[in-house]
């Protein structure tokens, strides 16, 4: 099989570029902890309201400027529907679904995760800019999908 000299250079260049991408992603994930949301905890959809921490949805302070926001999703909303967040807080969003599959995304941040019934999912971000943010469902979940949202007020 004959490979043109230029083609060899091109494939080597392309291959090395892809390897470089993989290395950057690996460093970012494994040493900076920027893994995609991959929580392995489980909770039965019918038991969400009785299971901690989802039995008491809302913001919990867990450390200096560190918070957890436990926020179950359901057709077609999140609990709580509105939440104040202190400026500069690092917030871990924890969610699960009481029914079908939902999305959980905050435009302008990297918080973007799937909410699958039976599973818990988490994502963390820091709010350094004050203002109104919205949490929206970005996975089709039924007739009211486009109404499914919650408000975050950072101040």
Partner 1 sequence: MTTTAIPKRDAKMSLAYLTVAFLAFGIAALAGLLQGLVRGGVIELPDWVNYYQILTAHGVLMGLIFTTFFIIGFLYSGISKTTGGLSDFSFKAGWIGWAMMFFGTAMSVATIVLNDASVMYTFYAPMQASPWFYVGAALLVVGSWAAGIGMIAAYIRYRKNNPGKASPLFTFMSVATMTLWFIATLGVASEVLFQLIPWSFGWVADVNVLLSRMLFWYFGHPLVYFWLMPAYIAWYVCIPKIIGGKVFSDSLARLAFILLVLFSIPVGFHHQLMEPGISSSWKFVHVILTLAVVVPSLLTAFSMFAVFETSGRRLGAKGLFGWFTKLPWKDVRFFAPMVGMLMFIPAGIGGIINASNQLNAVIHNTLWVVGHFHLTVATSVVLTFFGLTYWLVPALTGRTLTKWVNRLGILQTLIWSVGMLMMSGAMHYMGLLGAPRRTDYTTYMDNATALSWVPYYKLMAFGGALLFIGGLLMIGIFVYLMWFAPKGQVEYPIAEAEDDATPTPKILENWKLWIGIAALLILLAYGYPIYDIIQNPPPSSPALRTW
Partner 2 sequence: MAQVPKRTDAEVQQQTTRKVEGETSLRGTFVSVMILGALIIISWLSIFFLFVERQ
Nearer to partner 1, 11 or 61 (CB): 11
Q: Is 127 a catalytic residue?
A: no
Binding of partner 1 by 28 (CB under 8 A): yes
- The residue from 54, 74, 104, 127 that is catalytic is 74
Q: What is the DSSP letter of 21?
A: H
Interaction between residue 109 and partner 2 (CB under 8 A) = yes
52 touching partner 1, by CB under 8 A: no
For the question of residue 6 being annotated catalytic, the response is no
Q: How far apart, in whole angstroms, are the C-alpha atoms of residue 70 and residue 53?
A: 7
Residue of 9, 29, 134, 147 interacting with partner 2 (CB under 8 A): 9
For position 100 contacting partner 1 by CB under 8 A, the verdict is yes
Which one, of 127, 103, 106, 100, lies nearest residue 114 by Cα? 103
The DSSP code sequence of 51-116 is STTTTS-EEEEEETTEEEEE--EETTEESSSEEEE-TT-EEEEEE-BSSS-EEEE-TTSS-EEEE-
Task: Indicate which single residue of 51, 92, 125, 138 sits in contact with partner 2 (rule: CB under 8 A).
Answer: 125
Give catalytic residues, as residue numbers: 74, 76
């Amino acid at each position: 099989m004959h490979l043109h000299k230029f083609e060899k250079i091109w494939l080597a260049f392309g291959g090395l570029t892809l390897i470089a991408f993989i290395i950057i992603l690996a460093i970012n994930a494994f040493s900076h902890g920027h893994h995609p949301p991959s929580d392995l905890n489980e909770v039965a959809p019918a038991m969400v309201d009785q299971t901690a921490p989802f039995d008491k949805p809302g913001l919990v302070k867990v450390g200096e400027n560190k918070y957890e926001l436990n926020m179950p999703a359901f057709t077609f909303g999140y609990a709580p529907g509105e939440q104040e967040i202190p400026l500069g807080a690092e917030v871990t969003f924890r969610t699960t679904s009481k029914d079908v599959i939902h999305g959980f995304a905050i435009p302008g941040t990297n918080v973007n995760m799937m909410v699958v019934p039976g599973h818990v999912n988490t994502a963390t971000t820091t709010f350094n800019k004050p203002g109104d943010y919205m949490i929206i469902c970005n996975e089709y979940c039924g007739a009211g999908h486009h109404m499914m949202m919650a408000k975050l007020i950072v101040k």
